[in-house]
Structure 1
């Protein structure tokens, strides 16, 4: 009985070992940095934090410049100061340096505001990533999921084992669901099921990539065709306007002259110019009239400036004369008063 039990135990052990060896192990990995950089909320908050850090750095630079100024001033005036004043200034400089270093450590130290706020910034997204990784691993039977950006050394990782995009889709789905109606939610769920099927089947994934590449090529061909059509339409419109101008020129009796100009490659290009003598004379007369008006306006401004300057000069001379007369009257009164005093 004991031998039969031992035989059954050994047989079961061997079967379990063989089953474990024949079972394939599924391994996947994520890139946390890639995921964080593609979450809009995280990137916006990170930008705000970087601006705040830049402001802190400017404050530290300002403090450092003040300390350098005090040091230079002390160095220049040291020979003229007493020992007590020198010690007082050195104490002040040392106090400011200590204060600046403490502020720098508070903002950028190992336990500073920048590190703490950056960690607090990433934690909500990291929690979402961990939840999404667990859901994907349970649904698709992954045995191990690693983080490529962590301290864990990964010498090589094939792209087909990267599930970062799947994690991003799960995070974005959760945010989209809160804003969708029932009809939109049903359409989104159908799209999600299709994406999950593609992720689960490498052959479908490759086929989808090929379809996406063909779609991009097709869109480019369509865009090129539309651009060519626009160019042809523009050329046709220019040709139509030129023909219309030629007809108008013939009706009004103007002369249409075609000149030839030689291009750099030896080809000749026809250039049509329409010349109307009456119109040209009118343009010249109009230009001369404008030039004369501008000249008259400039002369009038010069005359006005001269008149203003002459008025200013006359007023200045009048003011000086008035002051001189007042001064003379004042002196005369003082002399009369002085004579009366002497006579008395």
Structure 2
């Protein structure tokens, strides 16, 4: 602890000396744990290591269960066993306990397999992080870069001095460099420079956020208008299809009713013709004998057929009236001629 405070004290002295000489001291820090958790290779290897650790824990638990079973068995049978058998079983139990503790220390101890594999897993990435930190420090003129997750005690750290995201971008750029073309690399560098500038300048970050919000709002407005237009278009299409379907239904319904009516009217006509040729007397006798009347429902007529029927009835009525008028005129004419002929015969 004294070494840590001494290191901080020396850093403050150096910073004060630099300020006294008119030079601005730039300080940054990284969070190694945050960087490691965001590296895909490290996460995959860590998950595999956790599976191994889980398997080791299960083996230790199985040994504990076995030891507890032996202890319970010895406790239950102790009154029936001799001293030599009791000592033998206790020795066996102690041997198993020592073996279990040794296995636990071997896997999970300070220098156990888990700790060594964690260090071996993190070391290559830590080396890459140190290289990236040096490159960033030289490019951005940082005087000090600390590790927040190390033993160094940091009582307060401002987020704008955190360069962990910059380190992650450098690591990701190194991994993807072989897969990108020159144009893509150039675009990636421009994007990273903009992100680095935003990280270093909070005011620029606020402006960029405002621009992003405006862009998102504009895109949302365009999307809403597009959805509204599509909804109106769909409504128009549905309405047009409904009208067309209604017309088609009316048309098909009229045709089917006409065909049905013609077929129903044709049957009684054929029946009447047949009965007319064979004779009415033969059909009238069974009806008179049974005393029942056979009634048939009148056929259902359409509007066109009703209009045709009314037209025929009116035409027939007019013909009868015309005939009647002609007959009356003919009768009046004959009566007049008879009256004129009667005086002539009288004079003669």
* CA displacement at 1:246 relative to structure 2: 6.5
The residue that corresponds to 1:156 in the other structure is 156
Higher relative contact order (CA 8 A, sep 6+): 2
Change (3 A) 1:249 1:133: same
Task: Verify: 1:86 aligned to 2:86, yes or no.
Answer: yes
Say if 1:106 and 1:113, in contact at 8 Å, map to a contact too.
Answer: yes
Change (3 A) 1:18 1:227: closer
Partner deviation per Cα, 1:133-158 (whole Å, 9 max, x = no partner): 11111111111111122222222222
Q: TM-score, normalised by structure 2?
A: 0.59
Distance 2:66 2:75 in 1: 14
Partner deviation per Cα, 1:218-239 (whole Å, 9 max, x = no partner): 4555566666677777777877
Where does 1:88-237 land on structure 2 (aligned, <5 Å)? 88-199=88-199, 201-219=201-219, 221=221
The residue that corresponds to 1:20 in the other structure is 20
Distance 1:99 1:18 in 2: 60
Other structure's SS at 1:178 match: helix
Distance 2:148 2:27 in 1: 13
Question: Is the radius of gyration larger for structure 1 or structure 2?
Answer: 2
Say if 1:27 and 1:142, in contact at 8 Å, map to a contact too.
Answer: yes
Where does 1:268-283 land on structure 2 (aligned, <5 Å)? none
Say if 2:67 and 2:96, in contact at 8 Å, map to a contact too.
Answer: yes
Greater shift after overlay, 178-187 or 24-33? 178-187
Other structure's SS at 2:151 match: coil
Cα RMSD of the aligned pairs, angstroms, is: 3.2
Other structure's SS at 2:146 match: strand
Q: Which runs of 5+ in 2 are unaligned?
A: 1-16, 255-348
Say if 1:26 and 1:142, in contact at 8 Å, map to a contact too.
Answer: yes
The residue that corresponds to 1:59 in the other structure is 59
Task: Verify: 1:70 aligned to 2:48, yes or no.
Answer: no
* CA displacement at 1:95 relative to structure 2: 1.0
Partner deviation per Cα, 1:75-120 (whole Å, 9 max, x = no partner): 2222222222222221111111111111111111111111111111
Other structure's SS at 1:22 match: coil
* CA displacement at 1:203 relative to structure 2: 4.2
Change (3 A) 1:89 1:172: same
Greater shift after overlay, 150-159 or 237-246? 237-246
Where does 1:260-299 land on structure 2 (aligned, <5 Å)? none
The residue that corresponds to 1:270 in the other structure is none
* CA displacement at 1:215 relative to structure 2: 3.8
Other structure's SS at 2:28 match: strand
Distance 2:226 2:82 in 1: 85
Report how many aligned residue pairs link the two structures.
238
Change (3 A) 1:208 1:95: same
